[in-house]
Amino acid sequence: MLGGRGALAAGAASERETGVPWGRLAAGLDGRLIRPGQARYPQAALLYNSRFASLRPAAVAVCRGSDDVARCLEFTRAHRVPFAMRSGGHSYGGYSSSPGLVVDVSALATVEVDPRRRTAKVGAGAQLIDLYDAVARHGLVVPGGTCPTVGVAGLAQGGGVGVLARRYGLTCDHVIAARAVTAAGDQIAVGPDAHADLWWALRGGGGGNFAAVTSFRLSLEPAPPLALFSLQYPWARAAAVLEGWQQWIATEPDETWSNCQLFSEGTAGLLVQVNGVYCGTPAELGRRLARLSRYVGPPGSSFVAGDDYLEAMKVEAGCASLTVAACHTAGEWPGGTLGHAAYAAKSSYVGAPEDLGRTAQWAAAVERLARDAPYLGGGLAFDGYGGAVNRVASDATAFVHRDKVAGVQATYSWGSGSSPGEVAAGARWLRWLGAEVIDPAEGAYVNYIDPTLTDWARAYYGANLARLSRVKARYDPTDRFRFAQSIPLPARG
């Protein structure tokens, strides 16, 4: 048993001050309870986004199994301690931390693949790079995101958009079962034949809202041949490229996934780039790109190459030359080399291909960022929807945005050398973008959760919100899974 006398001693003074018997929780865990003052605390308290480096939970429980999760939930109920669930710690709003207890499931990270049934049992704390590695060993794939250190729990519960989405759908579309711990401490199996309403809600309703998921069972697909491409264009053509790209991706077959990026790279200038992954051979991809050129003209530079699934996912993750071990955060994983990042973001959608006047607005917005915050990186990424994503009915899962041409992510990022004035200029740009350029009627993506949104519940969940509130009332009637943008309980009539 971990978390013995050292944890008790470190927390003794705080227990006297607060009346919270942290030592009792530490003694009852198979995992470890980490408190302020312990050597591991600074790392344990840190989220992926270093924007939230100042957050200081009272304790972090590194759970070793579902029994630990149940003990944590019972402890927080008995002692009225606020808590937050944490898998990968990538919440854009910092919502995977709490001033009370962080219930950390990152150690629940096993991936067990059944190649005959083409399924995988995945611990809620597994990171994307490890899931991709495990299924690739059996010649299988699962659609997911790009960041290698994102936790599966948050990704799947919010939807899970990635480079294979148009071919195979969202990550949540492949969740065939789950295990969870309810607010009452019950450990339950969840699926189409057991707690089907919760199974529906966990597929797109956002993480940390209903129950503590400890594992998922995912359906897998045979690995196809893959080809990758990256095309760059002069900035003067930015609006025309974005307009033509939207028309092209809206009419492409499922095998084609692509995004269009308009970025300010600080002192390096402005960038227009179209990237993508094609389920097929480079020769077949060449024919798809010839069709793109009829919409946007020839690129200034291009890269096209075939690759296998794992290597393609590493390329998209930005760690193409690294081992799987190295594609983890340094200090949190043996051999990890990746750093933390500081960034802020907003999201939106494109409901139908936009005309040149509208795409010129998007391009001008990136030019404004370059002018107002010339030393920050940031801009807009338009990720292609359609295909298998849009063939699922909007109410078949909790993920409602099934009629879009593209998702939009607006970001700006900064480093340790950035001045407070530069960071503030980026924040002003993002607020202006939300008020003057983004159409709130298009909605927003809950996995890019945005603390600045006003009508956030409607933006994330649309027509599925009322049903999600009813599920919330059934499984968490006292609203224990609560944070600034958690699913609200139904209004009392």
Burial 171-182 (b: 16+ CB within 10 A, else e): bbbbbebbbbbb
The CATH architecture that domain 226-307+341-457 belongs to is 3-Layer(aba) Sandwich (3.40)
Residue 289 is encoded by which pair of tokens? 């790109």
C-alpha torsion angle, residues 386, 389, 395, 396 (rounded to 10): 150
Q: Where are the domains of the chain?
A: 5-104, 111-222, 226-307+341-457
Region of 132 please: left (phi>0), alpha (psi -120 to 50) or beta: alpha
Burial 39-49 (b: 16+ CB within 10 A, else e): eebeebbbbbb
Q: Say what the pTM is.
A: 0.95
Long-range contacts of 182-186 (CB under 8 A, 24+ apart): 182/211, 182/212, 182/475, 182/476, 183/73, 183/77, 183/211, 183/475, 183/476, 183/477, 183/478, 183/480, 183/481, 185/70, 185/73, 185/74, 185/77
Residue 77 is encoded by which pair of tokens? 């109920």
Token look-up 């107002």 returns 372
Tens place of pLDDT per residue across the chain (493 aa): 233 323 333 444 456 667 899 999 999 999 999 999 999 999 999 999 999 999 999 999 999 999 999 999 999 999 999 999 999 999 999 999 999 999 999 999 999 999 999 999 999 999 999 999 999 999 999 999 999 999 999 999 999 999 999 999 999 999 999 999 999 999 999 999 999 999 999 999 999 999 999 999 999 999 999 999 999 999 999 999 999 999 999 999 999 999 999 999 988 999 999 999 999 999 999 999 999 999 999 999 999 999 999 999 999 999 999 999 999 999 888 999 999 999 999 999 999 999 999 999 999 999 999 999 999 999 999 999 999 999 999 999 999 999 999 999 999 999 989 999 999 999 999 999 999 999 999 999 999 999 999 999 999 999 999 999 999 999 999 999 999 999 999 987 6
Beta strands in 135-286 (DSSP E): 140-141, 175-181, 187-190, 212-219, 221-222, 226-233, 256-265, 270-279
Q: Does 3.30.43.10 match the CATH number of domain 5-104?
A: yes
Q: Does 3.40.630.30 match the CATH number of domain 111-222?
A: no
Q: What span, in angstroms and rounded, lies between the C-alpha atoms of 55 and 127?
A: 22
